[in-house]
Amino acid sequence: MEIKVVTKGLLTQQADCLVIGIVKGTIKAEGALAEADQALGGNIAALFSDSEISGDRNDTQFIHTYGKIAARRILLVGLGDEAELSFEELREASARAVKEALKAKLTKLAFALSDAWSGLDAKEASHAITEGVLLADYRFPGYHQKEELKPALESLVIFCAEQGAEDAREGVRIGQAFAEGTNLARDLVNMPGNYLTPTVLAEKAKEVAERYGMEVEILEKPDMERYGMGGLLGVNQGSVQAPKLVAIKYQGTDKWEDVLGFVGKGITFDSGGISLKPGPGMDEMKGDMGGAAAVIGALEVIGRLKPDVNIAAVIPTTDNMPSGSALKPGDVITAMNGKTIEILNTDAEGRLILADGVCYAKEMGADYVVDLATLTGAALVALGTCTTAAVTNNEEFMEEVMISAAEAGELLWRLPAYKPYKDQIKSKIADLKNTGGRNAGSITAGLFVGEFAEETPWVHLDIAGTSWADKDNDLSPAGGTGVMVRTLATLAQLRSVNEKEE
Ligand code: BES
Ligand code: MN
Ligand code: ZN
Protein backbone atom coordinates (compact mmCIF):
# COMPACT_ATOMS: atom_id res chain seq x y z
CA MET A 1 0.00 0.00 0.00
CA GLU A 2 1.19 3.48 -0.82
CA ILE A 3 1.74 5.75 2.18
CA LYS A 4 2.16 9.46 1.59
CA VAL A 5 3.33 12.16 3.96
CA VAL A 6 1.82 15.56 3.21
CA THR A 7 2.07 18.91 4.95
CA LYS A 8 -0.79 20.90 3.44
CA GLY A 9 -4.37 20.63 2.33
CA LEU A 10 -6.09 19.03 5.29
CA LEU A 11 -9.48 20.25 4.11
CA THR A 12 -8.96 19.48 0.44
CA GLN A 13 -7.52 15.96 0.91
CA GLN A 14 -9.62 13.38 -0.94
CA ALA A 15 -10.26 10.47 1.40
CA ASP A 16 -13.05 8.24 2.64
CA CYS A 17 -12.16 9.33 6.10
CA LEU A 18 -9.97 11.88 7.81
CA VAL A 19 -8.80 10.55 11.17
CA ILE A 20 -8.16 13.25 13.76
CA GLY A 21 -6.78 12.75 17.24
CA ILE A 22 -8.50 14.32 20.21
CA VAL A 23 -7.11 14.60 23.72
CA LYS A 24 -9.00 15.12 26.95
CA GLY A 25 -9.71 18.70 27.96
CA THR A 26 -10.45 21.42 25.45
CA ILE A 27 -10.01 21.83 21.72
CA LYS A 28 -6.78 23.65 21.00
CA ALA A 29 -6.90 26.86 19.02
CA GLU A 30 -4.50 25.49 16.40
CA GLY A 31 -3.98 22.24 14.57
CA ALA A 32 -6.06 19.76 12.61
CA LEU A 33 -8.91 19.57 15.06
CA ALA A 34 -9.42 23.33 15.15
CA GLU A 35 -9.13 23.59 11.38
CA ALA A 36 -11.72 20.87 10.82
CA ASP A 37 -13.99 22.32 13.48
CA GLN A 38 -13.97 25.68 11.78
CA ALA A 39 -14.76 24.15 8.40
CA LEU A 40 -17.68 22.29 9.96
CA GLY A 41 -19.02 25.43 11.60
CA GLY A 42 -18.17 24.47 15.16
CA ASN A 43 -19.70 20.99 14.94
CA ILE A 44 -16.82 19.28 16.71
CA ALA A 45 -16.73 21.85 19.51
CA ALA A 46 -20.44 21.24 19.96
CA LEU A 47 -19.95 17.48 20.26
CA PHE A 48 -17.31 18.21 22.82
CA SER A 49 -19.37 20.58 24.91
CA ASP A 50 -22.40 18.27 24.73
CA SER A 51 -20.14 15.46 26.03
CA GLU A 52 -20.75 13.31 22.97
CA ILE A 53 -17.02 12.93 22.59
CA SER A 54 -14.53 13.29 25.41
CA GLY A 55 -11.08 12.43 24.14
CA ASP A 56 -10.90 9.36 26.38
CA ARG A 57 -8.89 6.44 25.12
CA ASN A 58 -11.16 4.08 23.20
CA ASP A 59 -13.55 6.92 22.40
CA THR A 60 -14.25 7.14 18.66
CA GLN A 61 -16.84 9.09 16.73
CA PHE A 62 -17.66 9.42 13.05
CA ILE A 63 -18.85 12.76 11.68
CA HIS A 64 -20.30 13.24 8.20
CA THR A 65 -18.84 16.26 6.46
CA TYR A 66 -21.59 17.02 3.90
CA GLY A 67 -19.16 18.40 1.37
CA LYS A 68 -17.72 21.00 3.74
CA ILE A 69 -14.33 19.36 3.43
CA ALA A 70 -13.08 16.96 0.75
CA ALA A 71 -12.96 13.90 3.01
CA ARG A 72 -16.38 12.28 3.23
CA ARG A 73 -16.14 11.65 6.93
CA ILE A 74 -14.08 12.55 9.92
CA LEU A 75 -13.22 9.96 12.52
CA LEU A 76 -12.36 11.45 15.89
CA VAL A 77 -10.11 9.17 17.90
CA GLY A 78 -9.70 9.62 21.63
CA LEU A 79 -6.07 9.74 22.73
CA GLY A 80 -6.59 10.11 26.48
CA ASP A 81 -4.55 12.46 28.66
CA GLU A 82 -2.13 14.57 26.70
CA ALA A 83 0.47 14.19 29.44
CA GLU A 84 0.42 10.40 29.05
CA LEU A 85 0.67 10.28 25.30
CA SER A 86 3.38 7.94 24.14
CA PHE A 87 4.58 6.07 21.08
CA GLU A 88 2.55 3.07 22.24
CA GLU A 89 -0.62 5.10 22.68
CA LEU A 90 -0.32 6.64 19.25
CA ARG A 91 0.29 3.23 17.70
CA GLU A 92 -2.77 1.77 19.39
CA ALA A 93 -4.99 4.75 18.62
CA SER A 94 -4.02 4.39 14.95
CA ALA A 95 -4.88 0.72 15.06
CA ARG A 96 -8.24 1.43 16.67
CA ALA A 97 -9.00 3.99 13.99
CA VAL A 98 -8.27 1.44 11.27
CA LYS A 99 -10.55 -1.11 12.89
CA GLU A 100 -13.40 1.41 13.06
CA ALA A 101 -12.82 2.58 9.51
CA LEU A 102 -12.75 -0.96 8.11
CA LYS A 103 -15.92 -1.82 10.01
CA ALA A 104 -17.55 1.08 8.15
CA LYS A 105 -15.91 -0.11 4.88
CA LEU A 106 -13.79 3.03 4.58
CA THR A 107 -10.51 2.17 2.91
CA LYS A 108 -8.88 5.44 1.84
CA LEU A 109 -7.66 7.09 5.01
CA ALA A 110 -5.89 10.30 5.90
CA PHE A 111 -4.41 10.66 9.38
CA ALA A 112 -3.95 13.91 11.24
CA LEU A 113 -3.20 12.40 14.62
CA SER A 114 0.17 13.64 15.55
CA ASP A 115 -0.30 17.35 15.95
CA ALA A 116 -2.02 16.64 19.26
CA TRP A 117 1.44 15.55 20.21
CA SER A 118 4.06 17.46 22.04
CA GLY A 119 6.28 14.62 23.24
CA LEU A 120 6.98 12.73 20.02
CA ASP A 121 9.01 13.96 17.08
CA ALA A 122 7.74 13.60 13.53
CA LYS A 123 9.80 10.49 12.85
CA GLU A 124 8.56 8.62 15.89
CA ALA A 125 4.97 9.75 15.39
CA SER A 126 4.80 8.65 11.77
CA HIS A 127 6.57 5.39 12.67
CA ALA A 128 3.92 4.74 15.33
CA ILE A 129 1.03 5.59 13.04
CA THR A 130 2.34 3.54 10.11
CA GLU A 131 3.09 0.54 12.29
CA GLY A 132 -0.29 0.69 14.04
CA VAL A 133 -2.18 1.07 10.77
CA LEU A 134 -0.43 -1.76 8.96
CA LEU A 135 -0.59 -4.15 11.92
CA ALA A 136 -4.32 -3.51 12.31
CA ASP A 137 -4.94 -3.88 8.57
CA TYR A 138 -3.49 -7.41 8.59
CA ARG A 139 -5.69 -10.28 7.38
CA PHE A 140 -4.81 -13.87 6.63
CA PRO A 141 -6.72 -14.70 3.46
CA GLY A 142 -7.19 -18.42 4.17
CA TYR A 143 -8.11 -21.10 1.71
CA HIS A 144 -11.76 -20.60 0.80
CA GLN A 145 -12.85 -21.69 -2.65
CA LYS A 146 -14.30 -18.23 -3.16
CA GLU A 147 -12.26 -15.53 -1.53
CA GLU A 148 -14.23 -13.69 1.13
CA LEU A 149 -14.49 -9.99 0.51
CA LYS A 150 -12.96 -8.45 3.60
CA PRO A 151 -12.24 -4.75 3.34
CA ALA A 152 -8.58 -3.78 3.47
CA LEU A 153 -6.97 -0.36 3.28
CA GLU A 154 -6.25 1.06 -0.15
CA SER A 155 -4.32 4.20 0.69
CA LEU A 156 -2.94 6.14 3.59
CA VAL A 157 -2.00 9.81 3.89
CA ILE A 158 -0.25 11.13 6.98
CA PHE A 159 -0.37 14.85 7.72
CA CYS A 160 2.54 16.47 9.46
CA ALA A 161 4.06 19.91 9.97
CA GLU A 162 6.18 21.32 7.13
CA GLN A 163 9.50 21.17 8.99
CA GLY A 164 8.98 17.54 10.05
CA ALA A 165 8.18 16.09 6.61
CA GLU A 166 11.56 14.50 5.88
CA ASP A 167 11.71 12.89 9.33
CA ALA A 168 8.13 11.75 8.96
CA ARG A 169 8.95 9.99 5.67
CA GLU A 170 11.82 8.20 7.40
CA GLY A 171 9.41 7.21 10.17
CA VAL A 172 7.00 5.78 7.60
CA ARG A 173 9.80 3.69 6.11
CA ILE A 174 10.73 2.31 9.54
CA GLY A 175 7.13 1.67 10.57
CA GLN A 176 6.46 -0.07 7.27
CA ALA A 177 9.50 -2.32 7.68
CA PHE A 178 8.55 -3.28 11.24
CA ALA A 179 4.90 -3.93 10.38
CA GLU A 180 5.57 -5.87 7.21
CA GLY A 181 8.18 -8.04 8.94
CA THR A 182 5.64 -8.76 11.67
CA ASN A 183 2.89 -9.49 9.16
CA LEU A 184 5.16 -11.86 7.27
CA ALA A 185 5.75 -13.80 10.51
CA ARG A 186 1.98 -13.85 11.10
CA ASP A 187 1.38 -15.33 7.65
CA LEU A 188 3.89 -18.08 8.29
CA VAL A 189 2.39 -18.97 11.68
CA ASN A 190 -1.12 -18.99 10.19
CA MET A 191 -0.20 -21.36 7.37
CA PRO A 192 -1.29 -24.95 7.97
CA GLY A 193 1.30 -27.72 8.23
CA ASN A 194 0.42 -29.26 4.88
CA TYR A 195 1.12 -25.96 3.12
CA LEU A 196 4.07 -24.88 5.23
CA THR A 197 6.27 -27.96 5.21
CA PRO A 198 9.91 -27.71 6.31
CA THR A 199 10.85 -27.42 2.63
CA VAL A 200 8.45 -24.52 2.10
CA LEU A 201 9.53 -22.80 5.32
CA ALA A 202 13.14 -23.03 4.16
CA GLU A 203 12.13 -21.56 0.78
CA LYS A 204 10.35 -18.66 2.48
CA ALA A 205 13.44 -17.88 4.56
CA LYS A 206 15.61 -18.09 1.45
CA GLU A 207 13.33 -15.69 -0.45
CA VAL A 208 13.73 -13.04 2.24
CA ALA A 209 17.51 -13.54 2.38
CA GLU A 210 17.89 -13.31 -1.38
CA ARG A 211 15.62 -10.28 -1.62
CA TYR A 212 18.11 -8.36 0.50
CA GLY A 213 21.32 -9.92 -0.78
CA MET A 214 22.05 -11.97 2.34
CA GLU A 215 24.15 -15.11 2.13
CA VAL A 216 22.01 -18.22 2.55
CA GLU A 217 22.78 -21.88 2.93
CA ILE A 218 20.29 -24.73 3.36
CA LEU A 219 21.61 -27.86 5.00
CA GLU A 220 20.08 -31.13 3.80
CA LYS A 221 19.95 -34.43 5.63
CA PRO A 222 23.40 -35.65 4.49
CA ASP A 223 24.93 -32.34 5.69
CA MET A 224 23.21 -32.80 9.03
CA GLU A 225 24.60 -36.32 9.26
CA ARG A 226 28.07 -34.97 8.57
CA TYR A 227 27.72 -32.39 11.32
CA GLY A 228 26.27 -34.96 13.71
CA MET A 229 23.03 -33.06 14.23
CA GLY A 230 21.39 -35.85 16.18
CA GLY A 231 18.76 -33.56 17.69
CA LEU A 232 17.25 -32.35 14.42
CA LEU A 233 17.69 -35.74 12.75
CA GLY A 234 16.19 -37.49 15.77
CA VAL A 235 13.02 -35.39 15.73
CA ASN A 236 12.76 -35.86 11.96
CA GLN A 237 13.09 -39.64 12.19
CA GLY A 238 9.33 -40.24 12.28
CA SER A 239 8.51 -37.88 9.44
CA VAL A 240 8.08 -38.28 5.70
CA GLN A 241 9.11 -34.62 5.26
CA ALA A 242 12.78 -33.81 4.67
CA PRO A 243 14.38 -31.78 7.47
CA LYS A 244 16.13 -28.51 6.60
CA LEU A 245 18.45 -26.20 8.43
CA VAL A 246 18.53 -22.69 7.03
CA ALA A 247 21.59 -20.59 7.80
CA ILE A 248 21.56 -16.93 6.78
CA LYS A 249 24.32 -14.36 7.16
CA TYR A 250 23.53 -10.66 7.19
CA GLN A 251 26.79 -8.71 7.19
CA GLY A 252 26.32 -5.04 8.00
CA THR A 253 29.94 -4.15 8.87
CA ASP A 254 33.29 -4.66 7.11
CA LYS A 255 34.39 -7.46 9.37
CA TRP A 256 32.40 -10.50 10.44
CA GLU A 257 32.62 -9.69 14.15
CA ASP A 258 30.28 -9.04 17.10
CA VAL A 259 27.90 -11.46 15.46
CA LEU A 260 24.36 -11.72 16.82
CA GLY A 261 22.91 -15.20 16.45
CA PHE A 262 19.15 -15.65 16.04
CA VAL A 263 17.96 -19.24 16.30
CA GLY A 264 14.25 -20.01 15.70
CA LYS A 265 12.37 -23.23 16.38
CA GLY A 266 10.81 -24.37 13.11
CA ILE A 267 8.52 -27.28 13.96
CA THR A 268 5.97 -27.02 11.15
CA PHE A 269 3.61 -29.34 13.02
CA ASP A 270 4.02 -30.85 16.47
CA SER A 271 1.93 -33.97 17.03
CA GLY A 272 4.08 -34.84 20.02
CA GLY A 273 5.54 -37.84 18.18
CA ILE A 274 5.29 -41.20 19.98
CA SER A 275 4.41 -39.22 23.14
CA LEU A 276 1.34 -38.16 21.17
CA LYS A 277 -0.54 -35.03 22.21
CA PRO A 278 -4.26 -35.19 23.06
CA GLY A 279 -6.56 -34.45 20.10
CA PRO A 280 -8.34 -31.23 21.16
CA GLY A 281 -6.36 -28.18 20.15
CA MET A 282 -3.71 -30.18 18.34
CA ASP A 283 -4.39 -28.17 15.17
CA GLU A 284 -2.82 -25.15 16.86
CA MET A 285 0.49 -26.97 16.70
CA LYS A 286 0.74 -25.81 13.08
CA GLY A 287 2.05 -22.67 14.78
CA ASP A 288 4.98 -24.44 16.40
CA MET A 289 7.34 -22.61 14.07
CA GLY A 290 6.63 -19.19 15.63
CA GLY A 291 10.30 -18.85 16.60
CA ALA A 292 11.41 -19.45 13.01
CA ALA A 293 8.77 -16.99 11.82
CA ALA A 294 10.07 -14.34 14.23
CA VAL A 295 13.58 -14.77 12.86
CA ILE A 296 12.41 -14.58 9.23
CA GLY A 297 10.24 -11.55 9.99
CA ALA A 298 13.16 -9.83 11.73
CA LEU A 299 15.36 -10.50 8.69
CA GLU A 300 12.72 -8.81 6.54
CA VAL A 301 12.95 -5.71 8.75
CA ILE A 302 16.74 -5.82 8.90
CA GLY A 303 17.00 -6.30 5.13
CA ARG A 304 15.03 -3.10 4.61
CA LEU A 305 16.64 -0.94 7.28
CA LYS A 306 20.20 -2.24 6.89
CA PRO A 307 21.61 -1.64 10.39
CA ASP A 308 25.41 -1.82 10.77
CA VAL A 309 25.42 -5.15 12.59
CA ASN A 310 26.18 -8.76 11.78
CA ILE A 311 23.56 -11.45 12.12
CA ALA A 312 23.78 -15.22 11.89
CA ALA A 313 20.25 -16.57 11.60
CA VAL A 314 19.60 -20.28 11.98
CA ILE A 315 16.33 -22.11 11.44
CA PRO A 316 16.27 -25.84 12.11
CA THR A 317 13.00 -27.16 10.72
CA THR A 318 11.06 -30.45 10.61
CA ASP A 319 7.70 -31.69 11.76
CA ASN A 320 7.34 -33.99 14.77
CA MET A 321 5.41 -37.11 13.83
CA PRO A 322 4.87 -40.60 15.21
CA SER A 323 5.69 -43.62 13.03
CA GLY A 324 7.55 -46.92 13.13
CA SER A 325 10.79 -45.09 12.60
CA ALA A 326 10.12 -42.29 15.08
CA LEU A 327 12.25 -41.42 18.08
CA LYS A 328 11.09 -43.29 21.19
CA PRO A 329 11.10 -42.50 24.89
CA GLY A 330 14.26 -44.06 26.30
CA ASP A 331 16.35 -43.48 23.16
CA VAL A 332 19.66 -41.69 23.53
CA ILE A 333 20.82 -39.28 20.83
CA THR A 334 23.94 -37.15 20.32
CA ALA A 335 23.78 -33.46 19.43
CA MET A 336 26.20 -31.60 17.15
CA ASN A 337 28.55 -30.66 20.00
CA GLY A 338 28.80 -34.28 21.15
CA LYS A 339 26.52 -33.96 24.18
CA THR A 340 24.28 -36.98 24.65
CA ILE A 341 20.58 -36.70 25.43
CA GLU A 342 18.21 -39.23 26.90
CA ILE A 343 14.73 -38.85 25.41
CA LEU A 344 12.04 -39.14 28.06
CA ASN A 345 9.24 -37.49 26.12
CA THR A 346 9.25 -37.12 22.34
CA ASP A 347 6.93 -34.11 22.74
CA ALA A 348 9.86 -32.15 24.18
CA GLU A 349 11.23 -31.90 20.63
CA GLY A 350 11.83 -28.16 20.30
CA ARG A 351 14.85 -28.15 22.58
CA LEU A 352 16.38 -31.00 20.56
CA ILE A 353 16.37 -29.11 17.28
CA LEU A 354 17.41 -25.89 19.05
CA ALA A 355 20.41 -27.71 20.52
CA ASP A 356 21.80 -28.28 17.02
CA GLY A 357 20.60 -24.86 15.87
CA VAL A 358 22.49 -23.08 18.64
CA CYS A 359 25.63 -25.16 17.97
CA TYR A 360 25.44 -24.25 14.30
CA ALA A 361 24.99 -20.53 15.06
CA LYS A 362 28.19 -20.67 17.12
CA GLU A 363 29.89 -22.50 14.26
CA MET A 364 28.89 -19.56 12.04
CA GLY A 365 30.63 -17.23 14.46
CA ALA A 366 27.80 -16.02 16.70
CA ASP A 367 29.19 -14.12 19.70
CA TYR A 368 25.71 -13.72 21.18
CA VAL A 369 22.73 -16.00 20.77
CA VAL A 370 19.02 -15.34 21.07
CA ASP A 371 16.88 -18.41 20.59
CA LEU A 372 13.14 -18.13 20.07
CA ALA A 373 10.68 -20.95 20.45
CA THR A 374 7.11 -21.94 21.15
CA LEU A 375 8.75 -24.23 23.64
CA THR A 376 6.57 -24.99 26.66
CA GLY A 377 2.93 -25.00 27.67
CA ALA A 378 4.34 -24.05 31.05
CA ALA A 379 5.22 -20.58 29.72
CA LEU A 380 1.51 -20.05 29.09
CA VAL A 381 0.70 -21.23 32.61
CA ALA A 382 3.33 -18.97 34.18
CA LEU A 383 2.90 -15.74 32.22
CA GLY A 384 -0.27 -16.06 30.15
CA THR A 385 -0.67 -14.80 26.61
CA CYS A 386 0.72 -11.27 26.83
CA THR A 387 4.24 -11.80 28.16
CA THR A 388 7.11 -13.75 26.62
CA ALA A 389 9.27 -15.75 29.06
CA ALA A 390 13.05 -15.34 29.04
CA VAL A 391 15.94 -17.38 30.43
CA THR A 392 19.56 -16.23 30.21
CA ASN A 393 23.14 -16.94 31.18
CA ASN A 394 24.21 -13.30 30.93
CA GLU A 395 22.80 -10.30 32.81
CA GLU A 396 24.12 -7.67 30.44
CA PHE A 397 22.84 -9.28 27.28
CA MET A 398 19.50 -9.92 28.98
CA GLU A 399 19.28 -6.23 29.84
CA GLU A 400 19.96 -5.31 26.22
CA VAL A 401 17.16 -7.61 25.03
CA MET A 402 14.80 -6.23 27.70
CA ILE A 403 15.51 -2.67 26.53
CA SER A 404 14.87 -3.69 22.93
CA ALA A 405 11.57 -5.32 23.85
CA ALA A 406 10.46 -2.24 25.79
CA GLU A 407 11.36 -0.01 22.86
CA ALA A 408 9.43 -2.29 20.49
CA GLY A 409 6.40 -2.37 22.80
CA GLU A 410 6.58 -6.13 23.45
CA LEU A 411 6.28 -7.58 26.94
CA LEU A 412 9.04 -9.77 28.26
CA TRP A 413 9.85 -11.17 31.69
CA ARG A 414 12.85 -13.08 32.89
CA LEU A 415 12.49 -16.36 34.77
CA PRO A 416 15.04 -17.38 37.42
CA ALA A 417 17.68 -19.82 36.23
CA TYR A 418 19.46 -20.74 39.46
CA LYS A 419 21.73 -23.74 39.58
CA PRO A 420 19.36 -26.20 41.30
CA TYR A 421 17.07 -26.13 38.25
CA LYS A 422 19.89 -27.63 36.21
CA ASP A 423 19.83 -30.76 38.34
CA GLN A 424 16.36 -31.48 36.95
CA ILE A 425 17.74 -32.16 33.48
CA LYS A 426 20.64 -34.42 34.49
CA SER A 427 20.32 -37.97 33.21
CA LYS A 428 21.72 -41.15 34.71
CA ILE A 429 22.69 -42.62 31.38
CA ALA A 430 23.42 -39.53 29.24
CA ASP A 431 24.68 -35.95 29.67
CA LEU A 432 21.16 -34.54 29.70
CA LYS A 433 17.57 -35.66 29.60
CA ASN A 434 15.02 -33.84 27.49
CA THR A 435 12.45 -33.13 30.19
CA GLY A 436 12.89 -31.90 33.71
CA GLY A 437 9.47 -32.95 34.99
CA ARG A 438 6.39 -30.83 35.56
CA ASN A 439 7.88 -28.31 37.96
CA ALA A 440 9.42 -25.15 36.47
CA GLY A 441 8.98 -26.57 32.96
CA SER A 442 9.84 -23.36 31.12
CA ILE A 443 12.99 -22.83 33.13
CA THR A 444 14.34 -26.35 32.67
CA ALA A 445 13.49 -26.25 28.96
CA GLY A 446 15.38 -22.99 28.62
CA LEU A 447 18.34 -24.27 30.59
CA PHE A 448 18.46 -27.32 28.34
CA VAL A 449 18.99 -25.04 25.33
CA GLY A 450 21.52 -23.04 27.37
CA GLU A 451 23.65 -26.18 27.70
CA PHE A 452 24.45 -25.74 24.02
CA ALA A 453 25.11 -22.01 24.19
CA GLU A 454 27.67 -22.85 26.90
CA GLU A 455 29.80 -19.73 27.59
CA THR A 456 28.33 -17.63 24.78
CA PRO A 457 26.05 -14.85 26.09
CA TRP A 458 22.59 -16.19 25.44
CA VAL A 459 18.94 -15.25 25.87
CA HIS A 460 16.15 -17.73 25.40
CA LEU A 461 12.67 -16.44 24.52
CA ASP A 462 9.78 -18.84 25.07
CA ILE A 463 6.89 -17.51 22.97
CA ALA A 464 4.51 -20.45 23.49
CA GLY A 465 1.99 -18.11 25.14
CA THR A 466 2.50 -15.04 22.97
CA SER A 467 2.90 -16.32 19.42
CA TRP A 468 -0.74 -17.26 18.93
CA ALA A 469 -3.82 -15.20 19.88
CA ASP A 470 -7.18 -16.87 20.45
CA LYS A 471 -9.01 -13.54 20.16
CA ASP A 472 -8.72 -10.39 18.06
CA ASN A 473 -7.08 -7.38 19.67
CA ASP A 474 -6.51 -3.80 18.50
CA LEU A 475 -3.25 -4.54 16.77
CA SER A 476 -4.01 -7.96 15.32
CA PRO A 477 -6.71 -10.45 14.48
CA ALA A 478 -6.78 -13.88 16.15
CA GLY A 479 -4.04 -16.26 14.98
CA GLY A 480 -0.31 -15.71 14.61
CA THR A 481 0.84 -12.52 16.32
CA GLY A 482 4.33 -12.13 14.86
CA VAL A 483 5.62 -11.61 18.38
CA MET A 484 9.32 -10.79 18.85
CA VAL A 485 9.94 -9.72 15.25
CA ARG A 486 10.07 -6.13 16.43
CA THR A 487 12.17 -6.93 19.49
CA LEU A 488 14.80 -8.73 17.40
CA ALA A 489 14.84 -5.99 14.79
CA THR A 490 15.08 -3.32 17.49
CA LEU A 491 17.98 -5.18 19.09
CA ALA A 492 19.78 -4.97 15.76
CA GLN A 493 18.80 -1.31 15.25
CA LEU A 494 19.93 -0.22 18.73
CA ARG A 495 23.31 -1.91 18.29
CA SER A 496 23.69 -0.12 15.01
CA VAL A 497 22.89 3.25 16.57
CA ASN A 498 25.37 2.67 19.40
CA GLU A 499 28.05 1.81 16.92
CA LYS A 500 27.46 5.00 14.97
CA GLU A 501 27.65 7.15 18.09
CA GLU A 502 31.04 5.79 19.13
N1 BES B 1 5.19 -26.97 21.06
C2 BES B 1 5.00 -27.43 22.38
C3 BES B 1 4.75 -26.31 23.39
C4 BES B 1 3.51 -25.49 23.21
C5 BES B 1 2.39 -25.74 23.98
C6 BES B 1 3.48 -24.42 22.35
C7 BES B 1 1.28 -24.96 23.86
C8 BES B 1 2.34 -23.63 22.22
C9 BES B 1 1.24 -23.90 22.97
C10 BES B 1 6.24 -28.20 22.84
O11 BES B 1 6.91 -28.89 21.86
C12 BES B 1 5.78 -29.19 23.84
O13 BES B 1 5.07 -30.07 23.47
N14 BES B 1 6.20 -29.03 25.08
C15 BES B 1 5.85 -29.91 26.12
C16 BES B 1 7.08 -30.22 26.92
C17 BES B 1 6.92 -31.33 27.90
C18 BES B 1 6.69 -32.64 27.19
C19 BES B 1 8.15 -31.40 28.76
C20 BES B 1 4.80 -29.21 27.00
O21 BES B 1 4.88 -28.01 27.18
O22 BES B 1 3.89 -29.90 27.44
MN1 MN C 1 6.15 -30.82 21.54
ZN1 ZN D 1 6.74 -28.22 19.97
* Catalytic option among 221, 277, 304, 328: 277
Do 341 and 231 share a structural domain? yes
Do 196 and 176 share a structural domain? no
pLDDT at 149 over 80: no
Do 473 and 402 share a structural domain? yes
166 assigned to some structural domain: yes
pLDDT in the model for residue 115: 64
146 assigned to some structural domain: no
**What DSSP element (H or E) covers 459?**
strand 458-462
- 345 Cβ closer than 6 Å to some ligand 1 atom: yes
Do 336 and 473 share a structural domain? yes
42 assigned to some structural domain: yes
Compute the distance from residue 168 Cα to the ligand 3 centre, in Å: 41
**Is 283 buried (19+), middle (13-18) or exposed (0-12) by CB count in 10 A?**
exposed
pLDDT at 502 over 60: no
pLDDT at 500 over 70: no
277 is catalytic: yes
Do 299 and 173 share a structural domain? no
Q: What is the CATH number of the domain that holds 132?
A: 3.40.220.10
The residue whose C-alpha atom lies closest to atom 14 belonging to ligand 1 is 376
Q: What is the model's pTM? A: 0.97
pLDDT at 118 over 80: no
Residues 6+ apart with CB under 8 A from 497: 307
Do 492 and 410 share a structural domain? yes
Distance between CA 73 and CA 68 in Å, rounded? Answer: 10
pLDDT at 1 over 90: no
187 assigned to some structural domain: no
pLDDT at 385 over 90: yes
Average pLDDT over residues 124-131: 96
User: Which pLDDT band holds residue 499 (cuts at 50, 70, 90)?
Assistant: low
Query: Rounded to whole angstroms, what are the CA distances from 446 to 296, 410, 433?
Result: 21, 20, 13
pLDDT at 395 over 80: yes
145 assigned to some structural domain: no
User: What is the extent of the structural domain holding 221?
Assistant: 192-501
Contact indicator for 300, 493 with CB cutoff of 8 Å: no
Do 197 and 104 share a structural domain? no
Total count of domains within the chain: 2
Which range, of 101-105, 116-120, 263-267, 436-440, averages the lowest pLDDT?
A: 116-120
262 assigned to some structural domain: yes
Which range, of 118-127, 285-294, 359-368, 443-452, averages the lowest pLDDT?
A: 118-127
Q: What is the CATH number of the domain that holds 312?
A: 3.40.630.10
Do 282 and 428 share a structural domain? yes
Do 227 and 174 share a structural domain? no
Chain length of the chain: 502
- 376 Cβ closer than 6 Å to some ligand 1 atom: yes
486 is catalytic: no
Give me the chain's average pLDDT, please. 95
User: Which pLDDT band holds residue 85 (cuts at 50, 70, 90)?
Assistant: confident
The residue whose C-alpha atom lies closest to atom 17 belonging to ligand 1 is 348
* Helix 395-408 / helix 485-501 crossing angle, nearest 10 deg: 110
The residue whose C-alpha atom lies closest to atom 13 belonging to ligand 1 is 347
pLDDT in the model for residue 82: 85
**What DSSP element (H or E) covers 224?**
helix 221-227
Do 196 and 174 share a structural domain? no
Quick one: what percent of the chain has pLDDT higher than 90? 89
Please indicate whether residue 39 or residue 497 has the higher confidence score (pLDDT).
Answer: 39
User: Which pLDDT band holds residue 84 (cuts at 50, 70, 90)?
Assistant: confident
403 assigned to some structural domain: yes
Quick one: what percent of the chain has pLDDT higher than 70? 98
b/e per residue 482-498 (b: at least 16 CB within 10 A): bbbbbbbbbbbbbbbee
443 assigned to some structural domain: yes
3-state secondary structure 24-92: CCCCCCCCHHHHHHHHCCCHHHHHHHCCCCCCCCCCEEEEECCCCCCCCEEEEEEEECHHHCCHHHHHH
Q: Which atom of ligand 1 is nearest to the CA of 270?
A: 1
Do 201 and 337 share a structural domain? yes
Do 232 and 160 share a structural domain? no
Compute the distance from residue 270 Cα to the ligand 2 centre, in Å: 6
Average pLDDT over residues 191-214: 98
Q: Which ligand is nearest to the CA of 376?
A: 1
